Chain A
C-alpha cells in the first residue's frame, strides 16, 4: 500500500493528506461536544471547564456543580475536553479557549508541566486559570482548588484498607496514569502513613491503569495473579476502583481481597450491594466544581488575585480563604458504605 501511495501523483497525495487533516479536524472539533454554552453572552463572565477527559462521571458531577454556580451568578458556562487523559491532549482546548476570549478556564491538569506553556499563553491573553482536582506547577495558574488535603485523602484510604484487612497483610495500589500529579502525591503519603502507623501492612506493588476501564480491569487481574496472598487493593481513582470492583465481583477472590479507594456512589453501588466492596471514600465533586466556579468568578471580578490570605464568598458553601501557593482547600473526604450510599446520586 505504501508503494501505491508513491505511485499516484503528487497532487493526489496532497489532496489525500488534506482530506485526512480535514477529517481529523472534524473528529477533533466534535470532541468539544457536551455542554457548549455559546459564549456570545456579550461582556458577561464566560467560564470554561476543561476536565482531564470526557466520559468520566467524576468530572460530569464536578462540571454540573460548576454549571450550577455559574448559573447562580449569571455567567456563561462551557465544557470542553479530550476523550483521553493523556498529558498533551488538553493543549489544543486551552488554546481554543484563550482565542475565544474566555474569562476564566477551570482545568484539571493531566500533567503538571506539559500544558504549562499553553496556560501561560492563555493567561497572557487575559484568561484567568483555576486548576481543580489535579494541579499544575504553581507558576502556570492563578488558584488551585484542592478537593481535600493530600494528607487527609491518603489517611482515609489507608484507614479504610487497614480496617477491612484487619491491619495486616499485603496490599497493592491501582493508580491512574504514572504521571498523574495527585495520585502520585497520595501514593507517597500513603506509603509514609503505612510505614509510620501500620507496620504489619506491606505495600507490594503500584500499577497503573491509565484511567482506562479495560487497562485497569486487566491490571487488577494481573495483580491478583501476581500476588496470591494479596489482602487488599487501594485504587485512588474512580475509573480504577470501578474496573477493579467489576473484575473482583466475578473472580474467585470476591470477598477475600478487600477493595477501597476513591469512587463515585453511582459506579460503586452495585459492588457495595453485592458485597465486593465494603466502604470507599470521596469528597463531593459537585461542591468542588461549584467552589472552582466561584473562585474563577472572584478572580475575573478582581475580588482576589490568588495571594495568600485573600477571601471570597462561594455561594452556598460560604467563605473560603486562599492558602499558601494559591491553594484553596474544599474540606475533608467523605466515607461511603452500604448504609449511606443510597442517599447519593452522582
Chain B
C-alpha cells in the first residue's frame, strides 16, 4: 500500500475522520434520494404547502428525543424511559391547561422540560452511583412512568378542545415558511452538537463512552457527566412531550409508546455506535429525519403499510453492519500502520 495520505495526522484520527464523514454523508444521501424519489413520483410530496410543511414538521419531535438519546448513548448508556417520559409530560401539559386556566404557555414549556430533567436526573443518578446497567434501570423507569401515566390518566384523555388555540397553533404554525417545531428542534440540535463537538466538556462524553475506566483514571468526573447526559436526554424528552401535545392535540395514557426504540433506532441509523464513544448528533438528527420520512415516502412509492416496519428494520441492521465494516477497516489500517512503522 502506498502512503498516499500525507502523515500530518496520526493514522488513527485520519481513519476515524473518514469513517464518520462516510457515515453521515451516506444517510444524508439516502434521505435526499428518498425525498427525490417520492417527489418525482408525486410532486406534492415536496412542493405542496402541506407536503413541504409535513416534511419538516413530522420528524421534528423525534429529532429532539433522538438527540437526547444520542448524548446518552455516546456515554455508553441508553435511556429506554424517554417514550414514557414523553407520554407523561404530554399528559401533564394537557392537565396544566385544564386545571390552571389561563396558565402562560411559557410556564407549561418550563414545567415540561423541568419534569423531564428530574426524571433524567433520577435515571442518571441510579446509573452512575448504583452501578446498575442503564438498560435495566431505564427499562424499570419505562414501566414505572407508564404505570403512573395510566394511573393518573385512567381512561381519561386530553382532547384538542382542552388546549388553548394559540398553543395548538405552535404545532402547525410557521415562521417564514419554516414550521415553529422545526425551528425549535434545529436550534436545540445546533447548540447541543456544538457543545459536544467543540468544547472540552463535550469531548469528555466521548472519552467516557470510549473507555469509562480510562476516563476515570484520567480524572474525568465520569458520574457527573453521565448524570448530565441523562438530565439533558430527559429534558429533551420533556420538551418533546409538550410539543407532542401541541402537534397531535389528543393525548391518552398510551402516548409516546415505542418512541424510545424509534429514538435509539434514529441514533443508530445516524451512526451513533450503541457501544458508545462515537457518532455525532447531526447523524442522529438525520437518522430521525430518515426514519420518519421513509414512513411517509413508502406509501407514495407504492409500498404497502405492512412492509414499512420491515424497511426500518433493514435500515437499522444495515447501519450496524456498516458500522462494523468501518470499524474492521479501521483496525486493519491501524495494524498496517503499526507494521510499517
Residues of chain A having any CB pair with chain B under 8 Å: 1-2, 4-5, 8, 12, 16-17, 19-20, 23-24, 26-31, 33-34, 51, 53-57, 59-60, 63, 79, 81, 83-84, 178, 205, 207-208, 212-214, 217-218, 221-226, 228, 242-243, 246, 250-253, 266-267, 269-270
Contacts and interface: CB of A to CB of B under 8 A. Distances in A.
Nearest to B44: A228
Contact of B50 (A1, A251, A269): A251
Contact of B42 (A20, A30, A228, A267): A228
Contact of A33 (B49, B151, B160, B254): B151
Contact of B159 (A1, A51, A208, A267): A267
A96 to B, nearest CB: 15
Contacts of B58: 218, 221
Given A27-B143, A33-B151, A246 B249 contact: yes
A55 B144 contact: no
A269 B159 CA distance: 11
Contacts of A252: 48-50
Nearest to A83: B254
A225 B54 contact: yes
Contact of A178 (B249, B253, B305): B305
Interface stretch (B10-18, B190-198, B295-303): B295-303
Nearest to A251: B50
Interface stretch (B98-106, B128-136, B231-239): B128-136
A20 B134 contact: no
Interface residues of B, number: 56
B136 A19 contact: yes
Q: Is the interface of B mostly helix, strand, loop or mixed?
A: helix
Contacts of A246: 160, 248-250
A34 B133 contact: no
B154 A84 contact: no
Contact of B155 (A30, A56, A266): A56
Nearest to B172: A250
B300 A28 contact: no
A250 B257 CA distance: 25
B76 to A, nearest CB: 6
A218 B294 CA distance: 12
A95 to B, nearest CB: 19
B161 A1 contact: no
B216 to A, nearest CB: 13
Interface string B105-128: 000000000000000000000000
B157 A57 contact: yes
A33 B155 CA distance: 9
- Nearest 3 pairs of A and B residues by beta carbon: A27-B143, A55-B252, A27-B147
B85 to A, nearest CB: 14
A26 B248 contact: no
Contacts, number: 156
Given A1-B78, A246-B250, A83 B139 contact: no
A266 B151 CA distance: 23
A264 to B, nearest CB: 10
Interface of B: 42, 44-45, 48-51, 54, 58, 76-78, 131-136, 139-144, 146-148, 150-151, 153-157, 159-161, 171-172, 244, 248-255, 257, 276, 295-296, 299-300, 305-306
A91 B1 CA distance: 63
B146 A27 contact: yes
A242 B155 CA distance: 17
B305 A226 contact: no
A251 B48 CA distance: 11
A23 B143 contact: yes
A224 B249 contact: no
A225 B38 CA distance: 10
A267 B305 CA distance: 27
A60 B306 CA distance: 30
Contacts of B151: 30, 33
A226 B300 contact: yes
Contacts of A267: 159, 250
Given A23-B139, A225-B299, A226-B299, 19 more contacts: A1-B76, A1-B276, A24-B143, A26-B147, A29-B147, A30-B151, A55-B156, A59-B155, A81-B155, A83-B254, A213-B248, A213-B249, A218-B58, A222-B300, A225-B50, A225-B300, A250-B171, A250-B172, A252-B48
A53 B140 CA distance: 22
Contacts of A54: 150, 154-155, 252-253
Nearest to B160: A246
Contacts of A2: 133, 135
A55 B296 contact: no
Nearest to B73: A1
14 contacts: A16-B136, A19-B136, A24-B140, A55-B157, A56-B157, A57-B157, A63-B155, A205-B299, A213-B248, A225-B48, A225-B300, A242-B250, A250-B171, A252-B48
Nearest to A245: B160
A16 B54 contact: no
A217 B168 CA distance: 14
Given A31-B150, A178-B306, A55 B253 contact: yes
